[in-house]
Every structure is written in structure tokens, then in C-alpha cells.
Structure 1
Amino acid sequence: MKLKTIYASLKKDLSQIESALDKTIEANHPILREASKHLLKAGGKRIRPVFVLLSGKFGDYNIEQMKKVAVSLELIHMASLVHDDVIDDAEMRRGKQTIKSRWDNRIAMYTGDYIFARAIEQIAGLNKPEAHLILSKAIVEMSIGEIEQIRDQYNWNVNLRNYFRRIKRKTALLIAISCELGAVAAGTSPHVQKKLYRFGYNVGMAYQITDDILDYVGTEKQLGKPAGGDLLQGNITLPVLYALKTKRGQDGILPHFADLEQLDTIDIKNIISIVKESGGIEFSQQISNRYLEKAFHELEGLPEMPARQSLYQIAEYIGKRNY
């Protein structure tokens, strides 16, 4: 089953979620309304809502319950992107102007806060106290991750443990609880909930590592932003961390890191070439594949049904995607 087929099978419910997203971010204030709508229209894969819906299939599936979870998690994701763009001083996302670029940092921060508030409002409609606890703990962890990313900005000496912990909080955690909360909302057993959480965590880790790889091998058209954007924003990711462990990487990359805040496009192109030559891409792909294998293993312990096969196919797509 291809990804398009999976989305097609969920088309009706995803359409309801899209309508709910649009309705939820409706604001009385014209600037808040325009900024929020601008972000929503930029689109996205809606991976988190898809994980919520598919995980709900393992229990008592009710679209009204699933919708509360899916909308809340997608809004949290959207709000975090708005804040990320302010921190990273990003001008473009998905080929469109960011809110901070089109308006300013203050509008972006308040828009992100507004979307966060709407997300909490949505999950409040779910009569599952454990879901609220899961979500609040995740938001705390995500906030710590954002602070750590700021701390590690332009720090080429960051170690692998810090990198993996950062991407867990940045990406994997929200995908993990998308799977878990979909299962919670559907009233599945704790065993199924834990399996789906671990599946989502491993898929999320692979997803972010693949993103970090694409920043070195993707085109600006594919990425919606210039290649090497992570380095320009001071984010040191797995491909370059591996390259720095090789003599070629140390000799060729470290001189550029004398003043990371002054990197220019020529420096970035040189670093990208060295990362590729040193095997940083292949190493990162191997690590991503290991996480995917762990995700597949978690699925083996779940009931055999179409939703399980769909989760397998999505995980497989994540490991092979090129944008």
C-alpha cells in the first residue's frame, strides 16, 4: 500500500480534521487570524493526525474523539514551528514566508502562543485524565528541548548523546504521543498504548535524522529552503558530527567553525562536500535504519489488521523520502 493510498483511505476523517483546524484557529483579532491562517495554508504532511487516526483503529474508533487529539497535536506542532522560526531567524518554511518574516518576531511569538492555547482547549474536550497528563509532560519536555537547542546553537563540540536527546524532544516525542494518545482516546489496553508509543518514538527519531540528512543532500526546491540551512542557523546535526570524527572532516570543517556565526554560502557548500566525502550521510542513514527496524519490531506485537500495515508503510516511507 502506497502513502497516497493510506491518505486516501483516511480522506474523510482527515478532511474533518482540516476543517476543525481551520475553525479552531479562527481569531477575532485580524492580525492573529491572518497570521494563523497563513501558517495553516502553508500545508504540511499532517503526519501526526495520520498517526492518531491509525492508532485509534486498534480500539474503539470514534472520529469525534480522534479529532480532539489530532487537532490538538497538529496545533502544538504548528505553534512550535512558529517559535522555531523566531529562534532560527528563518525567512522561509515549505517554500513560503514564515510568520516572523511576513510580520515580525513579536507577532510570531504571540501567534505561536495563541495556537498553543487553542491546542490545550481542544484536548480539554477529551474526557481522559491520563491523556492530559501525557500531553502536559510532553510539552514540558519539548520546552526543555527548545532551551537546549538554543544552548547548543553554534556549538560544534556537541556530543552524540546531546544530539539524540535533542531530536527526541524536538520531533520524536510528539510523534510518539500522537500514536499513544490515539490509542488512549480509543480505549486500547496499556500494552497496545506502550507499543504504539515506542513505535512512534523510533519512527520520530528516524524522521528527524532523515530531515538532517536531507539538509545536506536535498535541493532548495525539495526542501523549501536553502541546503545547509541547519548549519547557517547554528544547528550541528548527525552528518556533520560524524564527519568531525574523521581526519578529513577535522581538517576541512573545523577551520570554518572558527566563527560559526559568520558562515557564508561558500563555507556551507565546502562543508556539505566534506560531509559527503567523509561518509557522514551513509553513517546517518544507517542510524536512521536502526530506528526504523526498532519501529517495525514494535508493530510485530500488535494485532494484525490494515492499520498495522499502514503504520509499517508510513515508517518505510519516512526512511526513503527525499523531501
Structure 2
Amino acid sequence: MKLVDIYFQLKADVNYIEQELERAIDTQLRDLYLSSTHLLKAGGKRIRPVFVLLGGKWGTYDLDRLKHIAVSLELIHMATLVHDDVVDDADKRRGRETVKAKWDNKVAMYTGDYILARALSTVTKLANPQIHQILSHAIVEMCKGEIEQVRDLHNWEQGFRTYLRRIKRKTALLIAISCQLGAVASEASADLVRRMFRYGYNVGMAFQITDDILDFTGTDKQLGKPAGSDLRQGNITLPALYSATKGANKERFQNWIAQGTLQEHMDEAIELIRRGEGIAVAQSLAARYIERARQELAGLPENQTKKSLLEIASFIGERKF
């Protein structure tokens, strides 16, 4: 199943959010406009805005309220991508030049700051203090996740819990609050707000674990960047961590790490991870998170919203790009 098919019921509203994203970062300063819209025009899954809209279906659905959250969260996501590409020295994102590559690091950093500022400005149109408390807490946690990733670059002594905590902060939390804030803004019940957060958290964890799998198993065309890019940059994800500490090729990895020669054997290491047990272990864990997400929806009314949430969970668990 394609994501576009799942989105079909929300097509008009998703298109409206897309237009609102463009309006939110519009500026008369041409250079800033070009750099800010560069990533936006590259497209994307827009999964966070869709989760906001679906979360909003559990209460009084009001697109004029939900759009402020949907736009804000997608802009926050975009800002982190622009900044990440500077930190990672990445030249490609979604098959296109990054802002950093097309302009330079300084432009990219200020572009990311501008997009983040526009995100925060957008959400101020909603007066509910709970929304701002949830959002500000999430941004703080996301920053912690980014710092943890920098701290743990090339650190093969990190445990699996460290990895899971990092991806919770870097990825899962923003997806969780997308579902949660949609429900909050629509004044859904407290039980549904909690369920939407937990559903989003579990889907978000599976989303990032699947991303980390695809970084090894996907093609350059599918990924829009070379396979194994995370490991080449020193970002150690679950498939690599398992292969190097518990897999059949553990001894070879440990020798490379101890001798400081892993970079010299990087192509071989990536191939060993691609064919190793770490991929299956990561797939199994992602599947467990997807099942937990499904369980959060158990007992809810059988309607199109529930069906869409279940279908998105299945897509994330099975996606190949």
C-alpha cells in the first residue's frame, strides 16, 4: 500500500496544509525565501501533519485550528533536517542538494533558525497553554537527543538503551506529540489524548528503527544518499551496534574497532551488517513497537480515522523507502 492511498480521505486538507507551509515561511528577503523553501519543495511524507489531522478527528475537527499545529510541527521537523545536514556535512537530502551544499553552512544554520522561529510564531495563534507546554518540552528533549547523538558518535560502548533513548528524543517524540496535539486541539477526551500520544510514540520508534534498517538495505536512489551513510558519519544505529557486539561477525568488528581501522574497512563492514543478524533484530523490534501502537487503538470506535491510523502503522512497519 502506498502512503498516498492512506492519505486519500485527507487529500484536500493535506493540500491545504501544504499551502499553509509555503505561506508560513514566505518572506520578501529573496535569499532567505529560496533557502527556506528549498527543502519544502523537495517534498516529503508529511506524516506529522497527517497525524495532527487524524488526532483531531477524535474531537471537534477544526482545520483552522489544527493547521497551526500541523504547520508548526512540520516546520520544526524541517528545521532539524537543515541543521542536521550541517552537523553531518551532508550533501544530499531526498535526492537533492542540501541547503548547506547549495549555499553554505552559515546560510543553512540561519535558515534552520528562521524556519524554527516561523514554527513557533505559527503556533502562538492558539491560546491553549497545554499545547505550548507540550511543544516546548518536546523541543527541549529533541535538543537533548541531538547532543546525545553528537556525544555518541563513534562510541561502540553505548548500550541498546542509549540508542533507544536517543531515537525517542530525536524522532519518536515529535511524532507522538503530533498525534497528541491534534487530539488536544480538538478537545478530545483525556483518555484519547493519552492513547494518541502512546500510539504516536510507538509508531515513531518503529519509524526511526526502520529508517536505520533502510540506511543499510536501501538503494542510493531510494535513500537519496549513499547506503550506510549513518555509519560512515559515525552514527551507530541498532543494526550496526548488534552486529558489532552480538553478531556472528562480532570478533571482526571488535578487531577493527580496537585497532582503529574500521573506516578503512567501511565498505566490508556495511556489507556484513546488511547480511547480518542485526537487520532481523531491528526488524523484530520495529514490529513490536508497531504492535504496541495497534494495541493503543483497541477498543476505539471502528471508523475511518482508526482505519487510517492502523494502515499508517502497517505502512511504517513494512516500508521500503
Q: Deviations over 1:249-305 (max 9, x none)?
A: 3222234435779726xx332112222443111111000011011000001143321
Is 1:319 aligned with 2:310? no
Match of 1:269 among 263, 267, 270: 267
The aligned residue for residue 98 of structure 2 is 98
Is 1:86 aligned with 2:98? no
Q: Deviations over 1:154-201 (max 9, x none)?
A: 112211111000000110000000000000110101110000000000
Match of 1:304 among 287, 302, 305: 302
The aligned residue for residue 208 of structure 1 is 208
Misfit runs of 4+, over 6 Å: 259-262
> d(CA) in 2 for partners of 1:314 and 1:36?
28
- 8 Å CA contact retained: 1:234, 1:260: no
> d(CA) in 1 for partners of 2:204 and 2:144?
18
Give me the TM-score of the superposition, normalised by structure 1: 0.96
Aligned residue identity for 2:101: S
Is 1:74 aligned with 2:68? no
Aligned residue identity for 2:67: K
Match of 2:290 among 289, 292, 315: 292
The aligned residue for residue 108 of structure 1 is 108
> d(CA) in 2 for partners of 1:51 and 1:256?
43
1:320: how far off?
0.4
The aligned residue for residue 132 of structure 2 is 132
SS at match of 1:89: coil
1:120: how far off?
0.5
> d(CA) in 2 for partners of 1:297 and 1:155?
35
Aligned residue identity for 1:167: I
Structure 1: which 5+ runs fail to align? none
SS at match of 2:300: coil
1:31: how far off?
1.6
The aligned residue for residue 9 of structure 2 is 9
Aligned residues between the structures: 321
Aligned residue identity for 2:213: I
> d(CA) in 1 for partners of 2:215 and 2:297?
29
Q: Deviations over 1:15-46 (max 9, x none)?
A: 11011100111123222111001111111000
- 8 Å CA contact retained: 1:239, 1:281: yes
| Aligned counterparts, 1:26-65, within 5 A | 26-65=26-65
SS at match of 1:248: coil
1:121: how far off?
0.7
The aligned residue for residue 222 of structure 1 is 222
Q: Deviations over 1:130-156 (max 9, x none)?
A: 001000000000011111111011112
> d(CA) in 1 for partners of 2:42 and 2:4?
19
Once structures 1 and 2 are overlaid, which stretch shifts more, 125-134 or 201-210?
A: 125-134
Identity of aligned residues (%): 55
SS at match of 1:26: coil
- 8 Å CA contact retained: 1:58, 1:188: yes
- 8 Å CA contact retained: 1:94, 1:225: yes
Is 1:19 aligned with 2:6? no
The aligned residue for residue 250 of structure 1 is 250
> d(CA) in 2 for partners of 1:229 and 1:200?
27
Match of 2:280 among 272, 277, 282: 282
Q: Deviations over 1:30-87 (max 9, x none)?
A: 2211100111111100000110111111110011111111000000000000111111
SS at match of 1:182: helix
Give me the TM-score of the superposition, normalised by structure 2: 0.96
Once structures 1 and 2 are overlaid, which stretch shifts more, 276-285 or 61-70?
A: 276-285
- 8 Å CA contact retained: 2:247, 2:278: no
> d(CA) in 1 for partners of 2:23 and 2:199?
31
Structure 2: which 5+ runs fail to align? none
SS at match of 2:254: helix
- 8 Å CA contact retained: 2:213, 2:282: yes
Root-mean-square deviation over aligned CA pairs = 1.6
- 8 Å CA contact retained: 1:154, 1:260: no
> d(CA) in 2 for partners of 1:33 and 1:139?
24
> d(CA) in 1 for partners of 2:284 and 2:248?
20
SS at match of 2:248: helix
> d(CA) in 2 for partners of 1:301 and 1:161?
31
Once structures 1 and 2 are overlaid, which stretch shifts more, 210-219 or 253-262?
A: 253-262
Distance 1:260 1:188, change over 3 A: farther
> d(CA) in 1 for partners of 2:150 and 2:238?
17
Aligned residue identity for 2:145: G
